[in-house]
Chain A
């Protein structure tokens, strides 16, 4: 492993190598290096010598629960080893916490950390080496990194307009990437790899000794996960309020009422949206029952399929880009909020927040006015005829 050593590392050659590897734990040579220099699993999980690794593992997960974590300061072979050893500990803990969102967030945090390091690495070989390790077949040319467009669309965050393929010059199947762009694709590839690996691990039981050795760490992490879950808020939307739905969902319902043929993608978006904001299939069916030609049994089958009751997975509603590609987005009916969001759920979430702010303001106003409107000022009643309690 020749080349510049970042972050002022010193030491013997193997030391330098381990120090280098500590920043890029996904490189294939890490496994052997750690196996050679590191302890066995019981020692890692219990010995006071490796307390540093366990503390860093907790930092990694706490970072994943919140805003991510920073790169460690690697001074020597010892800190490098602790950094590398913290990763298997963190991964075991994430698997034990058994939360799909946490897995995604953990993978994203690890990948973001790796990209930040890659972006600052003065070693010109670091980026192509990372790309190769992550299965991104690039070719370094004078104009930039050359990549096949299929790999680009496989990895690029194309929901972001900046990354649309049409913004690239695609010539004979290939396009060119700047170093920062390749680093971003590395981040995507790494996040996916970690997610896939941890999802696969979830099915395998951990040895009981390891489990009990991890117990103290778990005890400190579990309440934090609980708290973080409440903030992620993806699950709980409160009572369903149809008047706050985005224009696309309203439009589909109007089409259904007008007895127009709603294409498959529209019905899919509709059912998955209603399911995600908290209705069960019976409630969706009740909602649909005012539409003409309503066939309860047929609709039930379809809804239960997308909501996970009859199939393996529950589907989430498609984002705005997909809705537009599929022709489900009523382009002309988009409003000011639509242009700021990328997902129908974000629209609904944003509307809910706005409503809450309005209500708080109204409440504050009512409290401040001595002869305010009658009724409990702290809880102005929402338009109750539109609300379904879950």
Chain B
């Protein structure tokens, strides 16, 4: 490690550093909290009695797992390596246990119930794309600036990116059909796409990582540098030779794919044209220059030269792939490339779900234990109109419960806006009660018996 790292002198190692005192954790929930958790479990169990989730295809080959409601503070119990030969046993368990969350494996196994992963014998796995509000740079930025982006807004933003993932990449570049892709709302903060195309289901983790790199626009850098290597997208071609005083100089022109081209090359040109139209052609001169110079590698001089030449005709030439302002355009292209990618991980440290071939994922038709919303399976054409706070509401709106809120809160579910005040017991629709209490926003008030 660094010079001030630990000195290790023998096999036995250094004397163990004194352990910092652990913060003592309460071992019991306060009675009101324990009662609330019990109540949630009972409501979930009741719900599963009326709404048994449909079984996933080939469910006997899948592993199932559950997060249970916690009995004491700390991480909740997690059960996994369950396998079912028939649907009744599974539904019976849901109705009895009313688990906090229900998962199934995106992988198929010969023996899904084995405790060790190697013994399960992997047969294939759906290719999963998980877009989550946690992955939004915009939300992170807002949070850093001190104002939390409302959940509805975050979900709308995730949906926009999710649609791009589907239309541009899965249905577009990858040529998948609607039948190959299951779309779900996760019941929480995002959307999942499950690809069930047989060739893709056989891909190993390394190949799936390559899919992630493609979609997240991970362009290789030029050898030995940090500069992205854009030679895939911007070609340099020798178009002429200039002779001057006995020396010959190549005359090169840079070109890109026309906007109509498939895949990343065409997408980049399309976006480039769109960005230039919005930020340069249709902006006033001052803003245009500001935008240009904000890009890395574009200084005042470059921006000026570019602007002097730029007009509708040049934009049309760019749309056909002809660039004559190589350096400046190159900077814009890189900017545009970053914009067109799909964020699939939280910052730089999240593990991409897509690369994982043994993942457990929320079961469609099950309840999300942090919202009481259900995991909803959607078709592409339903996605635009889909409103998670209406269409994923699981519990009946016409039932009410009394809760004691922990904070002032307001929430619109099933089209009904409800606001409550901290500490003031209030009678609210059942979905609101579950939503708030599931995220520890209060406690239940049960009728006296």
Contact check, A166 vs B11: say whether CB atoms are below 8 A apart.
no
Does B264 count as interface, using CB distance less than 8 angstroms? yes
Contact check, A327 vs B200: say whether CB atoms are below 8 A apart.
no
Does A311 count as interface, using CB distance less than 8 angstroms? yes
Q: Which residues of the other chain, B, contact A291 by a CB distance below 8 angstroms?
A: 17
Of A68-76, A227-235, A242-250, the one contacting chain B is A242-250
Interface residues of A in 283-316 (CB under 8 A from B): 283, 285-287, 289-294, 311-313
- Which one of A173, A245, A293 lies within 8 Å of B22 (CB-CB)? A293
- Which one of B176, B224, B348 lies within 8 Å of A340 (CB-CB)? B224
Bound-complex Cα distance A37 to B256 (A): 56
The secondary-structure label for the interface of chain B is: loop
The residue in chain A whose Cβ has the minimal distance to the Cβ of B218 is A166
Contact check, A327 vs B349: say whether CB atoms are below 8 A apart.
yes
Bound-complex Cα distance A158 to B199 (A): 18
* Given A161-B229, A250-B1: A289 in contact with B210 (beta carbons within 8 A): no
Q: Which residues of the other chain, A, contact B175 by a CB distance below 8 angstroms?
A: 171-174
Does B67 count as interface, using CB distance less than 8 angstroms? no
Does B12 count as interface, using CB distance less than 8 angstroms? yes
Q: Which residues of the other chain, B, contact A388 by a CB distance below 8 angstroms?
A: 8-11
Interface residues of A in 358-390 (CB under 8 A from B): 384-386, 388-389
Contact check, A325 vs B352: say whether CB atoms are below 8 A apart.
yes
How many A-B pairs with Cβ below 8 Å?
Answer: 163
Q: Which residues of the other chain, A, contact B265 by a CB distance below 8 angstroms?
A: 169
Bound-complex Cα distance A328 to B197 (A): 30
* Given A327-B347, A389-B11: A253 in contact with B213 (beta carbons within 8 A): no
Contact check, B16 vs A289: say whether CB atoms are below 8 A apart.
yes
Most buried by B among A158, A250, A328: A158
Most buried by B among A170, A282, A388: A170
Of A85-93, A149-157, A346-354, the one contacting chain B is A149-157
**Could you tell me the distance in whole angstroms from the C-beta of B331 to the nearest C-beta in chain A?**
19
Does B351 count as interface, using CB distance less than 8 angstroms? yes
- Which one of A169, A254, A286, A313 lies within 8 Å of B14 (CB-CB)? A286
Contact check, A165 vs B211: say whether CB atoms are below 8 A apart.
yes
Contact check, A167 vs B207: say whether CB atoms are below 8 A apart.
no
The residue in chain A whose Cβ has the minimal distance to the Cβ of B257 is A169
Bound-complex Cα distance A254 to B4 (A): 11
Interface residues of B in 106-159 (CB under 8 A from A): 116, 118
The residue in chain B whose Cβ has the minimal distance to the Cβ of A263 is B349
Bound-complex Cα distance A389 to B9 (A): 9
Digitize A243-284: 1 where CB-to-B-CB distance is under 8 Å, 0 elsewhere: 101000010011000000001111000000000000000110
The residue in chain A whose Cβ has the minimal distance to the Cβ of B118 is A312
- Which one of B199, B209, B211, B263 lies within 8 Å of A171 (CB-CB)? B263
- Which one of B3, B11, B16, B223 lies within 8 Å of A243 (CB-CB)? B3
Contact check, A164 vs B220: say whether CB atoms are below 8 A apart.
yes
Does A132 count as interface, using CB distance less than 8 angstroms? no
Contact check, A153 vs B211: say whether CB atoms are below 8 A apart.
yes
Most buried by B among A166, A173, A313, A388: A166
Digitize B192-223: 1 where CB-to-A-CB distance is under 8 Å, 0 elsewhere: 00000101101110110111111001111101
- Which one of B220, B223, B224 lies within 8 Å of A167 (CB-CB)? B220
**Could you tell me the distance in whole angstroms from the C-beta of A263 to the nearest C-beta in chain B?**
5
Does B417 count as interface, using CB distance less than 8 angstroms? no
Contact check, B213 vs A287: say whether CB atoms are below 8 A apart.
no
- Which one of A150, A245, A312, A328 lies within 8 Å of B199 (CB-CB)? A150
Q: Which residues of the other chain, B, contact A149 by a CB distance below 8 angstroms?
A: 173-174
Contact check, B220 vs A153: say whether CB atoms are below 8 A apart.
no
The interface size bin for chain B is: 35 or more
- Which one of A153, A168, A292, A312 lies within 8 Å of B263 (CB-CB)? A168
Contact check, A325 vs B212: say whether CB atoms are below 8 A apart.
yes
Q: Which residues of the other chain, A, contact B264 by a CB distance below 8 angstroms?
A: 166, 169-170
Contact check, A166 vs B219: say whether CB atoms are below 8 A apart.
yes
- Which one of A173, A266, A322 lies within 8 Å of B174 (CB-CB)? A173
The residue in chain B whose Cβ has the minimal distance to the Cβ of A312 is B118
Does A41 count as interface, using CB distance less than 8 angstroms? no
Q: Which residues of the other chain, A, contact B6 by a CB distance below 8 angstroms?
A: 242, 287, 290
- Which one of A154, A166, A245 lies within 8 Å of B232 (CB-CB)? A166
* Given A170-B173, A325-B213, A326-B351: A151 in contact with B3 (beta carbons within 8 A): no
**Could you tell me the distance in whole angstroms from the C-beta of A128 to the nearest C-beta in chain B?**
20
Contact check, B118 vs A265: say whether CB atoms are below 8 A apart.
no
**Could you tell me the distance in whole angstroms from the C-beta of A305 to the nearest C-beta in chain B?**
10
Contact check, B213 vs A165: say whether CB atoms are below 8 A apart.
yes
Contact check, B218 vs A164: say whether CB atoms are below 8 A apart.
yes
* Given A150-B203, A154-B207: A250 in contact with B2 (beta carbons within 8 A): yes
* Given A158-B206, A242-B5, A385-B7: A169 in contact with B220 (beta carbons within 8 A): no
Q: Which residues of the other chain, B, contact A331 by a CB distance below 8 angstroms?
A: 348
The residue in chain A whose Cβ has the minimal distance to the Cβ of B3 is A243
Q: Which residues of the other chain, B, contact A294 by a CB distance below 8 angstroms?
A: 17, 19
Interface residues of A in 192-232 (CB under 8 A from B): none
Contact check, A286 vs B12: say whether CB atoms are below 8 A apart.
yes
Does A339 count as interface, using CB distance less than 8 angstroms? yes
Contact check, B209 vs A289: say whether CB atoms are below 8 A apart.
no
Contact check, A339 vs B225: say whether CB atoms are below 8 A apart.
yes
Contact check, A153 vs B203: say whether CB atoms are below 8 A apart.
yes
Interface residues of B in 1-40 (CB under 8 A from A): 1-3, 5-14, 16-17, 19-20, 22
- 11 of the cross-chain contacts (CB-CB < 8 Å) are A150-B197, A166-B220, A169-B257, A174-B175, A242-B6, A286-B12, A289-B17, A290-B6, A322-B206, A325-B212, A340-B224
What residues make up the interface of B, taking CB atoms closer than 8 Å to A? 1-3, 5-14, 16-17, 19-20, 22, 116, 118, 172-176, 197, 199-200, 202-204, 206-207, 209-214, 217-221, 223-225, 229, 232, 257, 261-265, 345, 347-352, 355
What residues make up the interface of A, taking CB atoms closer than 8 Å to B? 148-151, 153-154, 158, 161-162, 164-174, 242-243, 245, 250, 253-254, 263-266, 282-283, 285-287, 289-294, 311-313, 321-322, 324-328, 331, 339-340, 384-386, 388-389
Known contacts A331-B348, A388-B9, then 6 further A-B pairs from the complex at CB < 8 Å, ordered by chain A residue:
A164-B213, A168-B263, A243-B2, A243-B5, A266-B349, A339-B223
